[in-house]
């Protein structure tokens, strides 16, 4: 077992770099085996997610203060420098001496004793330069005339994402969006109205010392902030009083507007947040068919269903492209399509580095195929909601425009919601995180005309 939060962060980051492991998976696996206090667990989490999220900015600092560029450094040394610079540049609560000394110790502990002096020297040179600054911390050297390169180094995003945002939003809003995505995510709860009330949950959480606020326009939503500890230990978790679901994702099921007794299909259901929300909105009556192609993920739907004690959901392991028996059988269909997740980059620290323009194009082709298939399941007069947690038009507007152009028996159905500022002239709901302070999302409700 490991009781050193920085050493554990180093081990996790090395797994991410060497083996391509997802940061959240590597973190969870290692934290389970570690013997850390709650404070040190939070520090390890902050260091891992922070170093992954800010990788480009940290590389730029190495480039600025070392003779060799970051990509020329030994891989383990680069990770140690990332940890040192992250603490010095982003974590003001950690004393500079602690950041430097623990980074030097990491070098000695992990077979880099000969380079421990280099680690000490580069971090102390940073501190000397910091003292010369009039601001609280030195700004990354940004003389490059290339705006995208400058923004990339400052906010730590790949060029292709920044180019897209600049074209969509302009410079001022792009910077706001970058800043928003570099924040630690909040946690939103969706109250299970079949079990309890929002007021009851809010009261119990406050009694447990949790900072909690109601979310406007969503009658069953609460937002948690600050330190909350283990989710499973919060009041009401085991009783099925609530689920974790971002407020923008909660809008999806409200827009689907399922009615008691109907037949609903959730085409890509895992891990079950929207599936269970649909059941709650239907008073747990009717039939919900929940499909997913991954057995492990479908199991999460079943676990959530059991915890919330919902009876109307039937799960089925399937690639929906291969299903042929559901033509015109559903009153409503939800296609929460697989996507790049570019609206949730704050929640998935490494997502910004895993996706490419080519990847987005491939996802767009899959989304088109899934939409064409699931549309055949809807009864005449029924509805289909297409939703993604991305803000890229290739995965959203382009998909819907193409679908409607050759499916003339479908039209956009304008939902009645209080969020008029996210409703576009075409009838799409597009949530920009920095404007609405929730995950980025795209939602459109389609109606099959008789």
Peptide bond into 292 cis (omega under 30): no
pTM of the predicted protein model: 0.92
Q: What is the mean pLDDT of the chain?
A: 94
Q: Where in the chain is the domain with CATH 3.40.50.150?
A: 247-448
Question: CB–CB of 400/350 below 8 Å?
Answer: no
What pLDDT shows up at residue 139? 55
Residue range 59-98, pLDDT digits in tens: 999 999 999 999 999 999 999 999 999 999 999 999 999 9
Question: What DSSP state is assigned to residue 423?
Answer: B
| CATH superfamily of domain region 187-244 | Sun protein; domain 3 (3.30.70.1170)
| Residue 417: predicted pLDDT | 81
List helix spans (H) across 67-210. 75-90, 96-109, 116-132, 147-155, 159-169, 171-181, 198-207
Which whole number is the average pLDDT over 329-347? 97
CA–CA distance, 268 with 173 (Å, rounded to integer): 32
Among all residues, which ones are annotated catalytic? 389
The correct CATH number of 5-146 out of 3.40.50.2300, 1.10.3720.10, 3.40.710.10, 1.10.940.10 is 1.10.940.10
Tens-place pLDDT, residues 114-147: 999 999 999 999 999 888 875 555 456 665 568 9
pLDDT digits (tens, 9 = 90+) for 374-409: 999 999 999 999 999 999 999 999 999 999 999 999
Give the tokens for residue 410: 């479908």
User: For residue range 31-70, what is the model confidence (pLDDT) as tens digits?
Assistant: 999 989 989 999 999 999 999 999 999 999 999 999 999 9
- What CATH number belongs to 247-448? 3.40.50.150
Q: Considering the chain, tell me which residue range(s) the CATH 3.30.70.1170 domain(s) occupy.
A: 187-244
Residues of the chain with CATH 1.10.940.10: 5-146
Q: Contact at 8 Å (CB) between 400 and 387?
A: no
369 against 142, higher pLDDT: 369
């Amino acid at each position: 077992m490991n009781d050193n939060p920085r050493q554990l962060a180093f081990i996790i980051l090395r797994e991410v770099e060497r083996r391509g492991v997802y940061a959240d998976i590597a973190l969870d696996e290692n934290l389970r085996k570690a013997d850390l206090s709650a404070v040190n667990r939070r520090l390890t989490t902050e260091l891992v997610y922070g170093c992954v999220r800010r990788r480009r900015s940290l590389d730029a600092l190495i480039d600025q203060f070392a003779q060799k560029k970051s990509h020329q450094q030994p891989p383990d040394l680069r990770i140690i420098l990332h940890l040192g610079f992250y603490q010095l540049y982003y974590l003001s609560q950690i004393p500079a001496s602690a950041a430097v000394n623990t980074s030097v110790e990491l070098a000695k502990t992990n077979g880099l004793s000969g380079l421990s002096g280099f680690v000490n020297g580069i971090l102390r040179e940073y501190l000397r330069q910091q003292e010369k600054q009039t601001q609280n911390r030195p700004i990354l050297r940004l003389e490059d005339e290339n705006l995208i390169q400058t923004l990339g180094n400052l906010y730590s995003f790949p060029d292709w994402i920044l180019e897209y945002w600049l074209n969509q939003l302009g410079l001022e809003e792009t910077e706001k969006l970058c800043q928003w995505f570099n924040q630690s995510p909040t946690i939103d709860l969706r109250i299970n109205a079949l079990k309890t009330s929002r007021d009851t949950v809010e009261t119990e959480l406050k009694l447990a010392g949790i900072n909690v606020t109601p979310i406007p326009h969503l009658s069953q939503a609460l937002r948690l902030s600050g330190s909350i500890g283990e989710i499973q230990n919060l009041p009401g978790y085991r009783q099925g009083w609530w689920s974790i679901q971002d407020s923008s994702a909660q809008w999806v099921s409200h827009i689907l507007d399922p009615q008691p007794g109907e037949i609903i299909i959730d085409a890509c259901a895992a891990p079950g947040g929207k599936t269970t929300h649909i059941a709650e909105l239907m008073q747990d009556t009717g039939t919900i068919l929940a499909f997913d192609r991954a057995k492990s993920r479908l199991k999460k739907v079943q676990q959530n269903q059991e915890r919330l004690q919902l009876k109307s959901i039937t799960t089925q392991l399937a690639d929906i492209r291969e299903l042929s028996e559901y033509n015109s059988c559903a009153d409503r269909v939800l296609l929460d399509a697989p996507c790049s997740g570019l609206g949730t980059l704050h929640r998935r620290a490494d997502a910004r580095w895993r996706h490419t323009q080519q990847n987005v194009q491939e996802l767009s082709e899959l989304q088109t195929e899934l939409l064409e298939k699931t549309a055949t399941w809807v009864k005449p007069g029924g509805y289909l909601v297409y939703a993604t947690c991305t803000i890229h038009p290739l995965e959203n507007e382009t998909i819907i425009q193409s679908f409607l152009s050759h499916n003339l028996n479908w039209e956009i159905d304008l939902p009645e919601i209080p969020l008029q500022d996210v409703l576009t002239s075409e009838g799409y709901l597009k949530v920009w995180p920095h404007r609405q302070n929730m995950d980025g999302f795209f939602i459109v409700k389609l109606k099959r005309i008789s």
